Amino acid sequence: MGKKVAVVVGGSVAGLACAHAVAGAGWEVVVLEKAAAPAAGSGTGAGLGLDAQSMEIISRWIPGWGIDAVTLPLAVDLNIATDSATKAARTLARDEDFKFRAAHWGDLHRRLHEELPPAVTVLWGHQFLSFEAPDDTRGVVATARVLRTGGTVEATGDLLIAADGSTSSVRRSFLPDLKLRYSGYCAWRGVFDFSGKESSDTMTSIRRAYPELGNCLYFDLAYKTHAVLYELPRSRLNWLWYINGPEPELAGNSVTMEATDAMVGRMRNEAERVWCPELARLVRETAAPFVNVIYDADPLRRLSWTGGRVVLVGDAAHPTTPHGLRSTNMSVMDACTLGQCLANWNSEPTPARALAEYEAVRLPVVAEQVLHARQLGRLKQGLPVDGEAEDGFDVTTAKAEVLQLRQRTMPFFDGAPAAVGGDFPLVGSTR
């Protein structure tokens, strides 16, 4: 009997993390990814924060990566308040034992790809179309379009892993009525490249205004808005700025909007009004800023279907707002847990019991984290939080210490439980 085969839909960080973990459980893996090639370098994409648990897992998958050398410390979680009228700043909450690290999305993705085990095949330029899980077989068949030729191919396996993001087409097959929940705000995002410009007026002034850059995750709160700022490896600053407003219209499945010149102009003018001159200048001088529309979804009650032949991971399983720095970390832990569960139940003819254990371990964790991230975002945006006053949090009148703003309030902040094996019940006849 040959190795079992998993077909992974999506070759982003979540998909490649699953490839590592599932191959480590002794499976063969085929990844379907519509992008033509892996990330070319560390400049691709924006920044992310890795927690200690994710870093330990990734270090096993990429033993030669040297995380300390290719990431920067986020040892301090600092929330400050900016008075938009006077531009004066004061501390709201500070945590000096944060222990996260900042990385480029593209750098992490590239290294995950380069270190894939031999049991993994990535089919770049293959757009997932559909899947079937025939009742008379144990397997699942995924169909993908080869973008270079326009033809279609089939990938057959024992398990389909949906790592196709927050707008997951696999999830839609089982939950067609599930709609992403608009948070009430969008995010302007940008990465400022200061290669060769460390001594420029812009960098000198921004380091004066935010003196702990390179060691600190800054949350800068103004009235009913907040910005995030931290340094990335290879001379870049990552910033996000959240703005309340009605839900915009989006084309297709993307949650990202290209910004017109007029939109960028208005954004830069508003930055001058809201933020200190140093941050406003950084925003003004950032090339190609773009807009993310911020969504999440109410926690799911299950993560697997078709008798244990299809499973959701990453943003496909738990779309979340970004305020707890959870998306990448949850994806890494999903992948690790799934691999552990498959290894625990490798002697079983189907993955059903492995997926039951995966659900039992991950569902309680991700549900709490998604809801907490939602609450944290609304708090920092001055929007009403469940059970609180209609006006929401007012940063202009807040006391000096507002501990609920800290990242440490996230459930399972110090680490999520791992799979340990056990006879988890199979729920329902369709499982």
Residue 132 forms beta bridges with which residues?
141
Q: How far, in Å, CA of 228 to CA of 239, rounded?
A: 5
Q: Quick one: 378 and 235 in the same domain? A: no
Q: Within a domain: residue 79?
A: yes
Least confident piece of the model among 214-218, 249-253, 338-342: 249-253
Q: Quick one: 118 and 215 in the same domain? A: no
Q: How far, in Å, CA of 126 to CA of 129, rounded?
A: 9
Q: Quick one: 267 and 155 in the same domain? A: no
Strands of 225-232's sheet, edge to edge? Answer: 89-95, 76-82, 216-222, 225-232, 236-244, 181-193, 290-296, 256-257
Q: Quick one: 189 and 326 in the same domain? A: no
Instruction: Give Cα 73 to chain centroid, integer Å.
Output: 19
| Residue 218 lies in domain | 71-101+180-296
Q: Is 32 exposed, middle or buried (0-12, 13-18, 19+ CB in 10 A)?
A: buried
Least confident piece of the model among 136-140, 314-318, 368-372: 136-140
Query: 342 falls in which pLDDT band (50, 70, 90)?
Result: very high
Mean pLDDT score of the chain, rounded to an integer?
92
pLDDT at site 391: 78
Q: Quick one: 187 and 55 in the same domain? A: no
pLDDT at site 430: 33
Domain boundary among 271, 296, 321: 296
Q: Within a domain: residue 401?
A: no
Residue 239 forms beta bridges with which residues?
190, 229
Compute the half-sphere exposure of residue 354: CA atoms within 13 Å on the CB side of its CA: 27
Compute the half-sphere exposure of residue 79: CA atoms within 13 Å on the CB side of its CA: 25
With the CA atoms of 11, 12, 13 and 17 taken in that order, what torsion angle do they form, in degrees rounded to the nearest 10? -10
Residue bearing the bigger pLDDT, 253 or 51: 51
Compute the half-sphere exposure of residue 200: CA atoms within 13 Å on the CB side of its CA: 15
Q: pLDDT tens digits for 68-116?
A: 888 999 999 999 999 999 999 999 999 999 999 999 999 999 999 999 9
pLDDT at site 389: 60
| SS3 state of residue 55 | helix
Backbone angles phi, psi at 156, to 5 degrees: -110, 135
Q: Within a domain: residue 95?
A: yes
Q: Quick one: 151 and 283 in the same domain? A: no
Least confident piece of the model among 9-18, 312-321, 361-370, 420-429: 420-429
pLDDT at site 428: 33
Q: Within a domain: residue 50?
A: yes
Domain count, the chain: 2
Contact status, residue 335 vs residue 313, Cβ threshold 8 Å: yes
Token pair, residue 266, equals 């208005």
Q: Within a domain: residue 285?
A: yes
DSSP secondary structure code for residue 308 in this structure: T
Q: Quick one: 209 and 127 in the same domain? A: no
Q: Within a domain: residue 265?
A: yes
Q: Quick one: 206 and 349 in the same domain? A: no
Query: 44 falls in which pLDDT band (50, 70, 90)?
Result: very low
Compute the half-sphere exposure of residue 66: CA atoms within 13 Å on the CB side of its CA: 3
Q: Quick one: 40 and 161 in the same domain? A: yes
Query: 64 falls in which pLDDT band (50, 70, 90)?
Result: confident
Question: What b/e sequence results for 138-171 when a residue is b if at least 16 CB atoms lie within 10 Å of its CB, and e otherwise?
Answer: bbbbbbbbeeeeeeeeebebbbbbbbbbbbbbbb
pLDDT at site 123: 98
| SS3 state of residue 134 | coil
**Residue that the structure tokens 């997951």 belong to:** 168
Q: Count of CB atoms within 10 A of residue 403's CB?
A: 12
CATH number at residue 277: 3.30.9.60
Domain boundary among 237, 263, 296: 296
**Neighbouring residues of 300: CB distance < 8 A, sequence distance ≥ 6:** 175, 312, 317, 318, 363
Domain boundary among 296, 329, 349: 296
pLDDT at site 68: 81
Size of the chain, expressed as the number of residues it contains: 431
**Neighbouring residues of 233: CB distance < 8 A, sequence distance ≥ 6:** 42, 70, 71, 72, 102, 103, 104, 107
Q: Within a domain: residue 349?
A: yes
Token pair, residue 386, equals 């469940």
Q: Quick one: 304 and 284 in the same domain? A: no
Token pair, residue 67, equals 């995380």
pLDDT at site 2: 78
Residue 124 forms beta bridges with which residues?
33
Share of the chain above pLDDT 70, in %: 94
pLDDT at site 388: 62
End-to-end CA distance of the chain: 24
Least confident piece of the model among 77-91, 254-268, 338-352, 401-415: 254-268
Q: Quick one: 219 and 237 in the same domain? A: yes
Token pair, residue 21, equals 């973990």
**Neighbouring residues of 206: CB distance < 8 A, sequence distance ≥ 6:** 213, 237, 278, 279, 281, 282
Contact status, residue 8 vs residue 163, Cβ threshold 8 Å: yes
Average pLDDT score over residue span 247-270: 86
Q: pLDDT tens digits for 277-291?
A: 999 999 999 999 999
CATH number at residue 319: 3.50.50.60
Share of the chain above pLDDT 90, in %: 82
Query: 258 falls in which pLDDT band (50, 70, 90)?
Result: confident
pLDDT at site 65: 83
Token pair, residue 343, equals 């290894």
Query: 20 falls in which pLDDT band (50, 70, 90)?
Result: very high
Q: Quick one: 307 and 370 in the same domain? A: yes
**Residue that the structure tokens 């949350």 belong to:** 219
Q: Within a domain: residue 209?
A: yes
